[in-house]
Chain A
Amino acid sequence: MSVKKIIFNSRLKFLWVLALIAGAVVALRLVDIQLLRHNHYLQLAEQNRTQILYQTAPRGRIFTADGKAIATNAPSFNLYYLGAGPKEEDYLSQLAQDLAPRLGISKEAVTEKLNQALRSGKAIALAENLSPKSTIALKELQLYYPGIYLIEENKRSYPYGSMASHLIGYLGSMEGSDWKNRDLSLDYRLNAKLGKNGLEKKFEKEMKGSDGGVYLEVDYRGRVKQVIEDRKWKPGADIYLTLNYDVQQAAEEGLKNSLTGRGAAVAIDPRSGAVLALATAPAFNPGMFVPYSDEPEVKSKKISEYNLAVQGIYPPASTFKVITAIAAIEQGGFDPKKIINCPGHYDAGSRVFKCWSRHGPVDFFGGMAGSCDVYFYTLAAQIGPVPIERIQRMFQFGQPTGIDLPGEKAGNLYGPTRRARNRSFWFVGDTLNLSIGQGELLVTPIKMAQYAAALASRGKVWKPYYLDRVVNPQSGKILSEGKSEQIGTVEIANSTWDLVYKALKHTVDAGTARRVKMPGLDVYGKTGTAQNPHGEDHGWFMAFAGKEGQKPEIAVAVFVEFGKSGSSVAGPVARKMLEAYFQRSKSAEVSVKEPEEILGE
C-alpha cells in the first residue's frame, strides 16, 4: 500500500469520524425533543388538534342566611352544528324542517347555515342566547340528529338588583394585567369574566368552577373530524352569608329613601358578631357589568366603589355619650339622681360651650334621653378626660374592626394620651368636645355597629364576620366556614351596665330615640348628630333590641351623610331594620308618636 493511499484512506476515515460526531449531535437533539421535551410538544399537538366549544361553568351562588340567592346564574344556550355527520339531502332537509320553528327562523336560512358548515367543514353556531324554555325540545332533537350540539352558557345574574352591591362587588372582563396574573390552576379563557371587587373578587377561586365543553378533533384547516369528548362543567362553590335578607332589604330601602340617600347601615348579632346587614348607599347594580353578547359592555365605572360602611370616617357625636357615662359611673361616686341645670350653654372659663337645646334641670336619665350636652360637659369636667379615653380603648376605638373587607379605615381615638403621642397639649375644651363625641374622634359605621353590639352584649367586642360557609354544591361538602371571634372585652361592673341600659331604654321610651320604640320589645338606642363644618350635619343612630325581658339579639348602626339629624333621618332606617328583624307588621308603626324635636341634639 502506497503512502498516498494511506493519506487517501485516512482522509475518508476522518470524514467517517465527522459523520459519527454529527450523528451523535443529531441523536442528542432527538433525545432532547422526543424524550426530554415530550410533554411540552404533546401538549402543543393536543392543542393543535382540539377545538373546544366551551360551556361556561355556573359561578358559585351567594346566599343570605335565610336562603335567598342574591347572586346566581341565568343559563343561556347556543346551538351548534358541527359540520361533520350525515350529508344526505334528506337528512339535512329533515333537520332544517325540525329546527326552523324552534329557532324562529325560516327553513331556508337553516339549510343555508347547514350547507355553509358542511362546505367549510367547521362548527357553526345556528342560534345563540336561546332561552331555557326553547331548549327542552332542542335537547330531544339532539338525540335524533348527530352533529347538532346544545351548548350551555351561564351568565351571572343578580335577582335582587343592587342588593348588597358593595359587599358582592362585580364581575368584569379580563384586562391585560388580569390575564398576566391569572391563577394558572384555574382554566381561564381570554373572554372569561372574573370578580373585580367585593365577594366576587375575594372568592373568585372558590366560585369560578371549571368549564366544560365539547372537545372536537379538527384538522389543520379547522375542519371537524370527530367529537372526542363532551365534558360537563363543574359548578363553583356556593357562598352562604350571615346576612338577613329582610334586614338588609330594610336597610337599603331605608337609606335609599332617606333625606340624602347617602349613608350606611350595619346590623350585627351581638351574640356572635355575625353581620346581619351591611348596606351602603348609593348602591349600584352589579349586573350591569355582565351584559349579554349583544349588549354593550359598560366600560366607564360611574358607580361608587367607595364602601362608606367601612371606609367613611365621621365623629360619633352624641352616641359617644354612653362612653362618657360609663366612665363617670365607673369612676365612682356617681349619683344618677343628681340634677344638673342646663341653661343652654356651659361656661368653661375661657370659652362658652353650647348645648343644642335648653333642657333645664336634668338628672342622668333625663340627660341621656334628651342628649343634654351640658350634663355630659359637667360629668367630663368632674372626671377628666383620662377615664373616658380608657373606656374608649376598651371599645377599641381607633382600631379597625377587622371585618374581612378591603380598605377598612381605623378611625381615630381621641384623648390626652393619644394627644401626648403627638407631642401636643390637651386643653379643657378638648375634654368637653370628647365628652359629646366631637373633635378629633372618628369612627366608621361598621365600628359604630361593633360598638352597639358591644353594648348589647354587655362588653363583648366582636370581630364582625359575614361569611357563614362555602359549600360545594355537588357534594354538599363544606369547604370553609366563617367563625365568631371575640377580640376584646369591656370590663365594667354589672351595675354600671344596668344603669346604662336603663338610660338607653329611657332614651327610646321617652327621649330622642323614640322612633324605634316598639311594643313587646326591649329597645335601647342613642342618636347622634355629627357636626360638619363643611356642610350639613351627619345623622347617626345606634340601637340594639331584644324581645321583652330577653337578651338583645340585634345591634344596629345607621349613618346618613348630610342627614342633618340622627333621630328623624337615621332613626326611621334603624326602625325598619328592627321591624324587619322581629317580623313586626307595619301597623305597629302607626301607634308611635312623632317626636317633637326634629333638628339637632
Chain B
Amino acid sequence: MTHYQKPIRRDTFDKVLFGAMALLALLGLMSIMSAVNSLGFSNAVVRTHLIALPLGFAAFAAAWSFNYQIFDEQWKPLYGVILALLIGVLIFGTYQRGSKSWFVLPFFSFQPAELCRVLTLLVAAAFLDRQGRAISDMRTLFLLGILLVPVFGLIMMQPDFSSVVITCPALLVLLYCAGVNIFYLSLVAVFGLVAGFFIITWTYLYLHPALRDYALLNVFADLSSNVWYILGFVLLLVVAAYGAWWIFKQLRMTLPVFYFVLVAAVVLAGFSAGVFVDRQMKPYQRKRVEAFLAPQSDPQGASYNVLQAQIAMGSGGVLGKGLFSGTQSRLGFVPEKHTDFILAVVGEELGLWGTLLVLGLYLLILWRIVVIAYMASDRYGYLVCGGIFGMFLTYMLINFGMLIGLFPVAGIPLPFISYGGSNLVSSMLALGVVQSVYARRITIA
C-alpha cells in the first residue's frame, strides 16, 4: 500500500497534545508526592490530587466530546453561569487565606474563579466572533469592557488577584488574535502599564523614605491620598492633552481631538486603577512587590522564598538529587512547595533535565494549540485557541519568570504540575476544548 492508497482517516484525537498533558500530570503527581514527603496515599494532599486527576481527565474527555461551537451559540447562558458562580461564592463561599473564593462541598472544595477564567475566555471569544467587521471599531472594545467589568469586579471582591493576573494577558492575546486595532490594543496596554507604574513607584517610594526629600517625589508619593493632588494631576493631564493637540496642529498634522481625549482618559483610568489597587493591596502583597524591587532588602522575608527556590533549583544541578531526596523541599526551606513553587521541587530533584522537560512540554502544548488554531473549521474555534494559548503562555511565563527572578512572586500555580484540584480540572477542560476544535477541524478529504 503506497501512501495515496491509504484510506484517509479522520482522526479526532491529537495524541501529542494529550501526551504532553498526561506527561506533565505524571511529573506533577510525582513532584507533589515528593514535596509533601509521603510515599503512601495516606497524605491528604496526595489523596485529593489523586481524586482531582481522574476528574480532570473526565473534564478533558467531556470537553473533547462536546462540539465546542455550543459555547459560541449559548454564550449568554454561559455568561450567566459565570456570574452565578462568582456571586454564589461571595454568598455561600468560605474564607481561606483571606479570600472568599471557595465552595466547600462534603468531599472536596472547589474554586469557581478557576473555572470562570476558562469560561470567560469562551464567552469573550464568542462575543468577538459576533462582531464581524466591526472588530476593529472602538465600540467593540468598549462593549467587551462593559461585558467583563462585572466578572472582574466580582473576582476582585473575593479578592483573587491571581485570577486577574492570568485572565487579563490571556484576554489581550485573544483580542490581538481577533484582529483588534493595534492602536486600541496599545491603549489597553498603556492602561495596564500606567496602573502598574503607579503601584510600583509608590511601593518603591514607600521602601526608600529618603527619596521623599525631593519635593516632586514627595508630591508623587502622596498622589494617591491627597485629593488636591489628584485634582491637580487631572488638570495637568487635561492641559497636557490640549497642549499635545495644539502642537500637532501647529505642525500641520491635524489629528482628531478624539485621540487626545482618549489617551488622556486611558492614562487617567490607569491612574485610578493604580490608586484603587494600591489601597486594596494587602501587606503580604506589598511585600512581594517590595521583594521584587529590592531582593536584598529583606532576606528572611518575601525574597527569602525566591532565594530558597533558586537554591533548590541550583543545588539540583543537571541530574537532580533524585526523587524524594531534595533537601531544600524535604526540610521545608522551599515555601509553598507543592503549589506555587512546585517547579523548584522539580528542579531540585530532577535537575536541569526536569525543568527543561517541563518547559519543553509546555512549549509543545502551545505549539499544538497554534497548529490546531490553524486547522479550526470556524473563526470561533480559532479565537478560542488564541485565548487558551494566551492563558497557558501567561502561566508558563509567570511561573518560570518568578523562579528565575524576572517576575514578582504572584502566587500562581503551574497547571498540571501544581497541587490544586480546581486549577487542574479547569486547565484540562481548556485543553479538552482545544481537542474538540481539533476533532472538528477542516479536513481536506
Contacts and interface: CB of A to CB of B under 8 A. Distances in A.
A49 B352 CA distance: 22
Interface stretch (A30-38, A274-282, A571-579): A30-38
A225 interface: yes
A12 to B, nearest CB: 5
Q: Which DSSP category, helix, strand, loop or mixed, fits chain B's interface?
A: helix
B127 interface: no
B421 interface: no
A217 interface: yes
Contacts of B179: 4, 7-8, 11
Interface in B253-291: none
A34 B311 CA distance: 9
A221 interface: yes
A9 B374 contact: yes
B331 A219 contact: yes
Interface in B219-238: none
A27 B403 CA distance: 12
Contact of B315 (A11, A22, A42): A42
B317 A38 contact: yes
Interface stretch (B23-31, B365-373, B410-418, B426-434): B365-373
B374 A40 contact: no
Given A19-B393, A40-B314, A217-B331, A34 B367 contact: no
B318 A19 contact: no
- Choose among B310, B351, B363, B374 the residue with the greatest number of A CB atoms under 10 Å from its CB: B363
5 contacts: A7-B179, A34-B355, A41-B311, A48-B308, A49-B328
A592 interface: no
Given A16-B367, A48-B331, A49-B327, A34 B318 contact: yes
A11 B370 contact: no
Nearest to A37: B314
Contact of B328 (A26, A38, A45): A45
A214 B356 CA distance: 38
B363 A34 contact: no
B332 interface: yes
B404 A30 contact: yes
B177 interface: yes
Given A9-B373, A30-B404, A42-B315, 14 more contacts: A7-B179, A12-B373, A16-B370, A16-B389, A19-B396, A31-B352, A34-B316, A38-B314, A38-B315, A45-B333, A46-B327, A49-B331, A49-B333, A220-B333
Interface in A37-72: 37-38, 40-42, 44-46, 48-49
The size bracket of the interface on A is: 35 or more
Contacts of A220: 331-333
A225 B331 contact: yes
Nearest to A7: B179
A42 B362 CA distance: 27
Given A7-B179, A217-B331, A19 B366 contact: yes
A23 B404 CA distance: 12
Interface string B313-352: 1111110000000011001110000000000000100011
Interface of A: 4, 7-9, 11-13, 15-16, 19-20, 22-23, 26-27, 29-31, 33-35, 37-38, 40-42, 44-46, 48-49, 217-221, 225
Contact of B310 (A7, A27, A41): A41
A30 B332 contact: no
B115 interface: no
Given A15-B177, A42-B314, A45-B328, A22 B389 contact: no
B355 A42 contact: no
Nearest to A9: B374
B352 A45 contact: no
Contacts of B333: 45, 48-49, 219-220
B401 interface: yes
Across the A-B interface, the 8 shortest Cβ-Cβ residue pairs:
A41-B314, A45-B315, A219-B331, A220-B332, A34-B352, A29-B404, A38-B317, A42-B315
Contacts of A7: 179
Nearest to A32: B404
B177 A12 contact: yes
The size bracket of the interface on B is: 35 or more
B397 interface: yes
Given A40-B314, A44-B311, A30 B328 contact: no
A82 to B, nearest CB: 16
- Choose among A13, A37, A48, A218 the residue with the greatest number of B CB atoms under 10 Å from its CB: A48
Contact of B332 (A12, A29, A221): A221
Contact of A15 (B317, B328, B393, B404): B393
Contacts of B200: none
A22 B397 CA distance: 8
Interface string B32-73: 000000000000000000000000000000000000000000
A9 B178 CA distance: 10
Interface in B350-388: 351-352, 355-356, 359, 362-363, 366-367, 370, 373-374, 382, 385-386
A15 B173 contact: yes
B96 to A, nearest CB: 23
B332 to A, nearest CB: 4
Nearest to A34: B352
A33 B373 contact: no
Contacts of B312: 45
Contacts of B173: 15
B333 to A, nearest CB: 5
B204 interface: no
A26 B331 contact: no
Contacts of B390: 15
B363 A20 contact: yes
A153 B35 CA distance: 39
Given A16-B366, A19-B363, A219-B331, A11 B318 contact: no
Contact of A33 (B310, B331, B382): B310
B382 A8 contact: yes
Nearest to B400: A26
A549 B367 CA distance: 105
B242 interface: no
Contacts of A31: 352
Contacts of A41: 310-311, 313-315
Contacts of A40: 314
Contacts of B178: 8
B442 to A, nearest CB: 10
A45 B333 CA distance: 9
B176 interface: yes
B385 to A, nearest CB: 8
B351 A26 contact: no
Nearest to B355: A30
Contacts of B363: 19-20, 23
A139 to B, nearest CB: 31
Contacts of B316: 34, 38
A384 B190 CA distance: 101
Contacts of A221: 332
- Choose among A7, A15, A218, A221 the residue with the greatest number of B CB atoms under 10 Å from its CB: A15
B314 to A, nearest CB: 3
